[in-house]
Each structure stands twice: as structure tokens, then as C-alpha cells.
Amino acid sequence: MGEPLILAANLSVDFPVRGALGKKKKVHAVSDVSLTIEKGKTFGLVGESGCGKTTLANLLLGLVKPDAGSILFDGKEITDISQKQLKIVRRDMQMIFQDPLSSLNPRFNIFRIISEPLFIRGGYTRKQMEARVLELLELVGLPASSLHRYPSDFSGGQRQRIGIARALALNPKFLVCDEPVSALDVSVHAQILNLLMDLQKELSITYLFISHNLAVVRDICQSVAVMYLGKVVETGNAQTIFDHPVHPYTQSLLSAVLDVDADNKRERIILQGDIPSPIDLPTGCRFHTRCPNARPECAIHSPELREIESHHRAACY
């Protein structure tokens, strides 16, 4: 068990929203989530749209203040610190985004894009910035001639590399990868994922890997948390969870992943109905409305995360 970089405990956040008749309602984005991210490892966050994984990432990055709970980043409490202190801590955190089109300012050339974090931090001469940018370009496998070109000259995969170079500019300890390959062509996925893994080995960065593509998560992450409607339903070692998923939601997610194996047809568990709204949550266990194993007590009490085996916890009866 390695040293934790991030210790999040009992995080909750709600967003106020105006209901249908002007009544003030709350979107329960994240409810009582705790997790531990080890240094130098990749932590996977899996779930479908609306499950709160993006909000959770924003919480960990300090972009959103939690209503309850605490976050320890490298031993320091970051939930209640001032904006100024937060800015300093944030230099150690960065993010790469899903859409390579909108994550780069089309008016900036590549040099300006990658050097922007350096520029913001200040204290670098032009020569130093150029040297660092060239270093980063080499790191992500892009030619030095890219410096003066514009994002529109590059393909999706290349733009994602530029985004990665920018994220690495200030040598962050923590990198959130928000669906980094979902918007790219399938044949390019492997390139970017391999790059991320190589960079992790070389620079000892800790990743939070957010994805809805379970097969990818399995291969790149050591630990995983599965989220549903703002709560973690299952968490633990990635291999273990994918080999023996315990929570019915995890089981259905895994079975929904299609395989290209012509001969192996797995039993697919199709869930009934739609994902409920995070405003009007189901009572008791949030998953019970779609759960194939639902029992009467599931509608009344929400189950806690219990230890199934070492490094494997699930919230189900």
C-alpha cells in the first residue's frame, strides 16, 4: 500500500437549482464520498453521465468547495484554504480534457498554449520558456517545428498530446484525465494511452482517470471506484473488481461492454429504465429502482461501503 497523495473523506456537495414551480431544489451531485489515491499510481473513476464523477474531480482540484468533508493533498488540508494558497497548491495539479477541439485556444499558437502555465506562474525568461516547451514537445512525441503552428493544423490525437504537454508544464504531481480518449478515433486511443503510461513511469505522476470505457480502465488503473448517482458503490483494486464485481451496477456495466470476440458471447445484464434524476433521488439505496436483485430493504436504507475482501469494498446488501 503506497503513500497516499490524496485522502478524501466524506465529501458531499449539492448544487441549488430552481425546480419546476420555482421551488428551490438541490442536485445531489456528490454524497459522502471517500477515497484514497496513491502516489505514482492511476486511480480510475467510472460511471455514467450524471453520476458525479466530473464534480468529484472538480472537488479534488479545488475548483468547487465541498459542503462537507475534507481533502488532504500531499498531507495538506485544502478544503478551507484561501484562494491565494489554493493557487499555489494547484500548480501541482492539472487536468487533461475530453475534447481536443475546445481544450486549446484556436487563436494561440502551440508555443503560447504550452507555455501559458509558465507565463501565469511567472519568473521565466523567454528563452527558458522556449527551452521548456521544446522539452515538453519531445516528451509527448511532437516535432519541434510545431511551435509556431496553430491547433487547426493538427489532428485530434496530436491536439491531445499538446494538451498533455501543457498539463505537464509545471511538473504537476497530480493529473486528472477526464475521458482523454473518448473523442478520438479508435486507432489513436492506444497511442495516447501508451503515452500516458510512459509518462507516468518516467515522471512518477499520479493520475485520476475518468472514463466510461471499462476495458480501458481495467488495463491502465490500479485502483477503481465505481460511482452511481453521487455515491461510490464499489471500490478497490482494479483487477479484483473486474474479475469479481460484487455490486449489481458494476456487474451490469461490465456486461454491457461489447466485445469483438466472435465466439465468446457473454450473458448480458440489461438494466431496466433510465438513470433517475440527481434531484429527486430514489429512497434508500439509490440503485434499487433498476437493480435486478432489489429487495424490500433496499428501498428503505442506503447501504454503506463494506469490506468484501482486501482492497475491495462495495455498498450492497
- Could you say whether residue 136 binds another protein (CB under 8 A)? no
Closest approach of another protein to the CB of residue 51, in Å: 9
Q: For another protein, which residue of 4, 66, 117, 245 counts as binding (CB under 8 A)?
A: 117
- Residue 80 CA to residue 239 CA, distance in Å, equals 35
- Could you say whether residue 189 binds another protein (CB under 8 A)? yes
Angle at 276 between CA 272 and CA 280, to 5 degrees: 145
- Could you say whether residue 131 binds another protein (CB under 8 A)? no
- Residue 306 CA to residue 24 CA, distance in Å, equals 34
- Could you say whether residue 48 binds another protein (CB under 8 A)? yes
Q: Which of 33, 41, 43, 39 is nearest to 12 (CA)?
A: 33
User: Which range touches another protein (CB under 8 A), out of 11-19, 250-258, 278-286, 296-304?
Assistant: 250-258
Q: For another protein, which residue of 216, 233, 281, 285 counts as binding (CB under 8 A)?
A: 216
- Could you say whether residue 162 binds another protein (CB under 8 A)? no
Q: For another protein, which residue of 2, 19, 76, 87 counts as binding (CB under 8 A)?
A: 87
Q: For another protein, which residue of 11, 33, 78, 95 counts as binding (CB under 8 A)?
A: 95
Q: For another protein, which residue of 12, 81, 139, 156 counts as binding (CB under 8 A)?
A: 156
Closest approach of another protein to the CB of residue 175, in Å: 10
Closest approach of another protein to the CB of residue 40, in Å: 15
Task: Encode 52-67: b = buried (16+ Cβ within 10 Å), e = exposed.
Answer: bbbbbbbbbbbebebe
Number of residues engaging another protein in binding (CB under 8 A)? 71
- Could you say whether residue 280 binds another protein (CB under 8 A)? no
- Could you say whether residue 94 binds another protein (CB under 8 A)? yes
Q: For another protein, which residue of 109, 200, 237, 251 counts as binding (CB under 8 A)?
A: 109
